[in-house]
Chains A and B, each alone.
Chain A
Amino acid sequence: MFIDLNVPFPEPIVYESQFTPSKKKQKQKPAGLTNAHASTSAMAVVPAHPLERLRVPDRKALRERVEMLIHLGYTIIAFTQSVQSKLDPAAPVNWFDGGEGTVFRDLDPRFNGGKRGVVQLRRLNVVLDEASEKGFGFNAQTTQLLAGYDILSLTPLTTSTFQSACLQHSLPSSSTIHLITAPLLPSPRLPYYMKHTLVRTALKNGARFEICYAGVFGDGARNWWANAREVVRAAAGGRRDGHEGVIFSGGAGRVEHLRAPGDVMNLGTTLGLPHETCHAAISRIPKSLIIRAETRRTYRAILSEPKLVFSAVPAGAAEDGGEQREDGKGVKGLMEILNEEEERSRKRVLEADDAGEGQEGDGEESEPSGRKRRKRRRKNR
């Protein structure tokens, strides 16, 4: 299972009828881009589906990207909506509204009846600058809006916002953030020092630091290497217990910039991470992150959101209720998909064990030598 938690979602067309205060919106958008569409669609009703709000070339490119991600072997991706400085309190917009939790329904195994595809999550990323130091709209009023996203993340650009991201916003609540992204590209140094105490608190609360590999392509590559190494040093360096603070994700706006999980792992090793940590940083750690993010939907992590069921058979009366419920239904939950994946990997391990025993025959001898080899490798490091 490989996970890419950052697939930038193209900016949708802005419809006047989406908001009551229309003045504000025009200012925000670059005029040249939207004018042609906006003039034709000003009076039109806002399309219900997120894809229909995109421009046609964007839509095609996005589908191409998703198909490429499936081809590369990813199982879960998260589309990212980026917001500058703060959520607009007057008219916050969720780009994914109306998609019923996904974007390409036919490519999502939750909805397409178990065909090949990729689970598509929705992520909100808020870029924090000086203007957002006094709050950026994560409060009781916006809980409803934030509930429409699967993962929340922050990109702090100043010391004080970095501090608040690490200390306050990573605490468990209904608007917990689970990813902190450092700006890797703009300058050869990060705008703040990643202080150990702050990083440690964030990690303890369950947040992780993100490194988007798409930065290696393009102008800021030199900055990217320096800053990514700094993030790895601060969040994933040092002792063994603290080395899992980094996840890798894409952040690639173009198909050419997407890479297969294996390539991303190799990139991680060049940053100075051990190979197994790189593997975890693109599979196990983000998966645990998704489950943590799912906790936001539960009641104090005790009771989940209820599901309405209509079968008369009581759950316990059937011996294996779990399997009975699943068949005959098209829609599956995220947790069920994760569970199936886990089940599959468990089976794979069991099969591999069986095969290994059958082939080797003298399992006792081969194991110690493997252990020795591992020890030697550790020494060399």
Chain B
Amino acid sequence: MSGASTSTAVIDPYAPFSQGKTIQLSSASPFLPRYLASTLPPHTSPSHVYNTRLRGKLLILDNPLRESRSAQLKQERAAKREAEKQRRVQGVMGRREAKRLGVWELRKEDAKWALFLPIHHLWLGYIAELLQLPPPPSDDILHSTDPSKHRLPSVPGTQAKLVKADLHGSILSVKRAKNADLVGRGGIVVHETENTFKVVTAKDELKVLPKRNSVFTLRVPVYAVRPGTGEEDGGPMWEFELYGNQVCFRSSERASRKFKFKETIEL
């Protein structure tokens, strides 16, 4: 090995290129394989060395060109303007604008129980689909008050799904609360925010129920609603207590959240 290296000419990397020799460089015939073939000792295979170690590798000799901060800002601003323009073309409203125009506010004259009842019926259909509720049995079983006659789904599975369900359109009422005035209030949920449920009551009022420090009652039918009628047919219902302290999330966050065991349900 040592004999071989001494026999070949010592490579001096600082020596000037041999004069009068022109080298054509192109991506089709790169310089490096040829250079390796001429410099590496003969028993190594230069093409193999090139393919495994050097091919496609780049060494940047200069510092990369960085954009100035002002140019960056300018670009960002331009992108933002462009996006806004796009949005305006499509007719999408921003959050601030929506708030200014009062999109999230329900007009007083619109807070009607009868107006939101169809939404509740839609919700019943949704929950039947979500929980895969069985179709209603014959009338005498449906209206019997004997629990053993009803075919009941598994409780833990139902709870796991219900925790992530959309509650817009459900009927909630406050069962217990630190604020005693809230107890007994309830109605069809028209808007769920991070910390409140906004409901329309049977007296055609819009009420804001804070989630924190209150416990809600949520009723879910045991059987799917008969298609076409859209009405509740007086069948049995599951009654759940929903502990508001633990669901202070937006409806969308709640849907994708992993819930862990919590310490207490105390208010």
Give chain A's interface residues, CB within 8 Å of chain B: 171-174, 176, 205-206, 288, 291-292, 294-295, 298-310, 312, 314-323, 335, 339, 346
Contacts and interface: CB of A to CB of B under 8 A. Distances in A.
A49 to B, nearest CB: 21
Given A315-B171, A315-B217, A317-B171, A288 B240 contact: no
A309 B236 contact: yes
B150 interface: yes
A201 to B, nearest CB: 13
Contacts of B262: 172, 295, 300-302
Interface string B209-240: 00000000111101000000000101011111
A302 B257 CA distance: 13
Contacts of B222: 308
A291 B266 contact: yes
Nearest to A299: B159
18 contacts: A205-B263, A295-B262, A298-B243, A299-B156, A300-B262, A301-B246, A303-B163, A303-B243, A304-B241, A307-B238, A308-B147, A308-B239, A315-B217, A316-B173, A319-B184, A321-B175, A321-B184, A322-B183
B145 interface: yes
Interface string B120-147: 0000000000000000000000000101
B115 interface: no
B202 interface: yes
> Chain A CB within 10 Å — which of B158, B184, B185, B265 has the most?
B265
A16 B245 CA distance: 48
Nearest to A172: B261
B184 A301 contact: no
A321 B185 CA distance: 8
Nearest to A304: B241
A312 B180 CA distance: 26
Contact of A304 (B199, B240, B261): B240
Contacts of A321: 173, 175, 184, 186, 217
A319 B202 CA distance: 7
B153 to A, nearest CB: 10
A62 B194 CA distance: 51
Contacts of A174: 261
A306 B238 contact: yes
A304 B187 CA distance: 20
Contacts of B9: none
A323 B184 CA distance: 8
B174 to A, nearest CB: 8
B219 A315 contact: yes
A317 B204 CA distance: 11
B60 to A, nearest CB: 54
A203 to B, nearest CB: 12
- Most B CB contacts (10 A, CB to CB) among A205, A294, A322 go to A322
Interface in B19-33: none
Contact of B155 (A295, A302, A306, A323): A306
Contacts of B265: 291-292, 294-295, 298, 301, 304
Specify which of B158, B201, B240 lies most central, judged by the most chain A CB atoms within 10 Å of its CB.
B240
Sort A-B residue pairs by CB-CB distance and give the 7 closest, nearest first: A301-B262, A304-B241, A320-B184, A316-B186, A299-B159, A312-B234, A306-B238
B243 A301 contact: yes
A236 B265 CA distance: 24
Nearest to B150: A308
Nearest to B187: A316
Contacts of A294: 265
Contact of B172 (A173, A298, A316, A335): A316
B264 interface: yes
Contact of A299 (B152, B163, B245): B163
B160 interface: yes
Contacts of A318: 202
Contacts of A306: 155, 158-159, 220, 238-240
Contacts of A322: 173, 175, 183-184
B206 interface: no
Contacts of B187: 316
Nearest to B180: A346
Interface string B235-263: 01111111101110000000000011111
Given A302-B247, A304-B240, A309 B184 contact: no
A176 B222 CA distance: 31
Given A308-B147, A315-B172, 6 more contacts: A299-B160, A300-B261, A304-B240, A309-B237, A316-B188, A346-B180
Contacts of A303: 159, 162-163, 218, 240-243
Contacts of B184: 319-323
A322 B214 CA distance: 13
B235 to A, nearest CB: 8
Contacts of B150: 308
B176 interface: yes
A300 B259 contact: yes
Contact of B237 (A171, A173, A298, A308): A308
Nearest to B200: A316
Contacts of B95: none
Contacts of A291: 264-266
Contact of B176 (A312, A315, A339, A346): A339
A301 to B, nearest CB: 4
Contact of B264 (A173, A288, A320, A335): A288
Contacts of B159: 299, 302-303, 306
